[in-house]
Chain A
Amino acid sequence: MPAPLLEVRGLKTYFTLWGGVVKALDGIDLTLGVGEIMGIVGESGGGKSVTAFSIMRLIDPPGRIEAGKILFEGEDLLSKSEAEMRKMRGRAISMVFQDPMTALNPLHTIKDQIDEALRLHTGMNERERGERILSLLHEVGIPNPEERLSSYPHQFSGGMLQRVVIAIALAAGPRLIIADEPTTALDVTVQAQILSLMEATVRERGAALILITHDLAVAAGMADKIAVMYCGRVVEAGTADSVIRSPAHPYTRGLLNSMPSAAQTKGRLAQIPGVVPSLLDLPPGCAFAPRCELACDACGAGVPAMVQVEPGHEAACFALNGGGNI
């Protein structure tokens, strides 16, 4: 097995607030191979975005990465200086943000904003950059790119802007792209287009993609691997097939059951009872226990460790240890 592109080990990111310490990430592990697509799913507050920004080392005070390792191509990003990290951002690892309407600077032209990434990360001269910008815009499906170069973000629709953001993310040829809910802010009609565009461009370039989404269906449709996050921990991770086919954690099953499907036309959609607890006031032991139908005494006593369900598929639930009551 080749060395993974990205290996996150025991990553802890805490936010120190007035009310106490929020453990936004409390020791997560992720492994992503070269060219793989990983979907990170879960409800809001699970730590998905914090994971993305921790990998980019863009956690601002009062947040702090407390512990762990983020090995990218074998090097620990957490031991790099800020200047070294700046050279990685946009070049080796780039990001696609949730809301393209606010991610682009309203006072700079589309061309300038793509050009900036090329200027920072490639040695190209102005003519080469101009050609690259056109080919990037063409690649992400902007019609008549020549005419749109000097446009400003407010002259584009949300879907078109997200294409521009993707072009910026692709510009310097990164090995990893992190997309943080890239379609949440868009019209439903363009969501599928943007997702298939991302999948196609990433596959074509052999780049890896971390797709953060609250929509398990989206992850199931395009990811090779899925990691399910709940309250700052990865509760289930594995190949997409295995996780979708045989979900082991009650939370994952809850997410799957609450998805509408074409086959199910009658009856109410299932939902997970209760709400995500405040990270300032987590229940002891397994954070999902208060909402879990399988909860037993052990769940309140300690945090369950990841247990192998199948080869390449793990979940963290005490019920798996006994094996009987699933």
Chain B
Amino acid sequence: MLIYLVQRFLQTIAVLVAVSVIVFFVMSFTGDPVMMIVPPDATAEQIEAARHELGLDRPLPVQYIVFMDNLLHGDMGRSYLFRQPVVKLITERVKATLEMVMLAVLLSLAVAIPAGVYAAAAPDSRLSRALMGGSLFGISLPSFWVGILLIFVFAVEWGLLPSSGRGKTVAGWSFLTRDGLAHLIMPSVTLALGTLAMLTRLVRAQMREVLRQDYIRFARAKGVSPSGLLFSHALKNALIPVITVFGLQVGNLIAFATVTETIFAWPGMGKLLIDAINTSDRPIIVAYLMIVAVIFVGINFVIDVAYTLIDPRIDLR
């Protein structure tokens, strides 16, 4: 286990270095941030002065080394545009993204597992067919379209839910207030839909596979009830591939949050990233991607540990 942890830690470092290098050098080709900052009528001297002030007049490798040196001292740099530390800008917004993603994750699990188990247990029932048909829509519909549709129905036509912003927050969290929660619902549902549909289908497919196994038949010969078969004997065995996909999906949710945040004007990390890309605000982009990389590695770690908790045959090495 210790060896595993050390390995994982070293892998994380390697991933971070790779991400920083790639992002740093690719971003240097995508536009000149100086031109976004200076006034349109700035003179050549003013532009040069701004470039020098931001340290962008130095060669790229030197810039990278300065950046990494600062990073090791806990400083991820300042936004060119906001003139504020990147860490501060991101932490202000990370809560907004996290609560939206977390609610979407909980929502998709809470629906997908019961729905998938049911669809596997009674494959010929009308409800199962409806679930499977509906899940195809969930997988196929793009989230920006679903978001717009939800806004149209629930905000514009019925006026039930607010369509943009986070509403009232407590300590940076929306879900703690009634108003904030109302604002949170549509973005989370929009974000959850694709994952929910996919996990439902996966749970069903895995359950059907497991229910064919010999040990399920043996459990029936022992006199185990149908619900005992499904939940005590089959579900756990069906979960391993579900968890793998689930982990990948959580990563995707964080990435796709960008789109959802844009639709609902949800002031999260994703929206910050889109704005930063539009203004070539490199420090924000680099910091965002590195944080997301850390989150991905962290999720994978949790998934690996979850495997060992579920299946005694899996040994972390």
Contacts and interface: CB of A to CB of B under 8 A. Distances in A.
Interface of A: 56, 58, 86-91, 94-95, 97, 99, 102-108, 116-117, 120-121, 152, 154, 165, 168
A56 B313 contact: no
B218 A121 contact: no
A185 to B, nearest CB: 11
5 contacts: A89-B221, A90-B222, A103-B218, A105-B233, A106-B312
Contacts of B222: 89-90, 94, 116-117, 120, 168
Nearest to A86: B223
A91 B223 contact: yes
Chain A facing B: main interface SS: mixed
Nearest to B218: A103
B313 A90 contact: no
Nearest to A117: B222
A293 to B, nearest CB: 39
Interface string B298-317: 00000000000011110000
B53 interface: no
A97 B224 CA distance: 16
A261 to B, nearest CB: 34
Given A58-B221, A106-B313, A152-B313, A99 B236 contact: no
Number of chain B interface residues as a range: 10 to 19
B237 A105 contact: yes
A317 B36 CA distance: 99
Given A104-B218, A106-B311, 5 more contacts: A89-B221, A89-B222, A107-B237, A152-B313, A154-B312
A171 B19 CA distance: 59
B43 interface: no
Contacts of A104: 215, 218
A95 B310 CA distance: 28
Interface of B: 213-215, 217-225, 233, 236-237, 310-313
B223 A102 contact: no
A58 B313 contact: no
A94 to B, nearest CB: 7
9 tightest CB-CB pairs across the interface, nearest first?
A: A90-B223, A102-B214, A89-B223, A90-B222, A95-B221, A103-B218, A152-B312, A105-B215, A86-B223
Contacts of A97: 214, 217-218, 221
Nearest to B310: A107
Contact of B223 (A99, A120, A152): A120
A90 B225 contact: no
A104 B214 CA distance: 8
Given A106-B311, A107-B312, A120 B224 contact: yes
A247 B217 CA distance: 35
Which of A89, A107, A108 is packed against the most chain B CB atoms within 10 Å?
A107
Contacts of B310: 107
A117 B313 CA distance: 24
A165 B219 CA distance: 11
B307 to A, nearest CB: 11
Contacts of B221: 56, 58, 89-90, 94-95, 97
A33 B310 CA distance: 45
Contact of B313 (A102, A116, A154): A154
B215 A102 contact: yes
Which of B219, B222, B237, B312 is packed against the most chain A CB atoms within 10 Å?
B222
A105 B214 CA distance: 9
Contacts of B224: 86, 116, 120
B223 A121 contact: yes
B215 A106 contact: yes
Contacts of B233: 105, 108
Contacts of A108: 233
Nearest to A106: B313
B213 A102 contact: yes
A87 B224 CA distance: 9
Nearest to A89: B223
A154 B221 CA distance: 21
B217 A58 contact: yes
A283 to B, nearest CB: 32
Nearest to B234: A105
Contacts of B313: 106, 152, 154
B21 to A, nearest CB: 42
A168 B222 CA distance: 8
Nearest to A60: B217
Nearest to A83: B225
A94 B221 CA distance: 7
A120 B220 CA distance: 12
Nearest to B311: A107
A104 B312 CA distance: 14
A266 to B, nearest CB: 42
Nearest to B217: A58
A99 B214 CA distance: 9
Contacts of A168: 222
Contacts of A106: 215, 237, 311-313
Nearest to B222: A90
Contacts of B225: 86
B223 A88 contact: yes
Contacts of B220: 58, 89
Contacts of A103: 214-215, 217-218
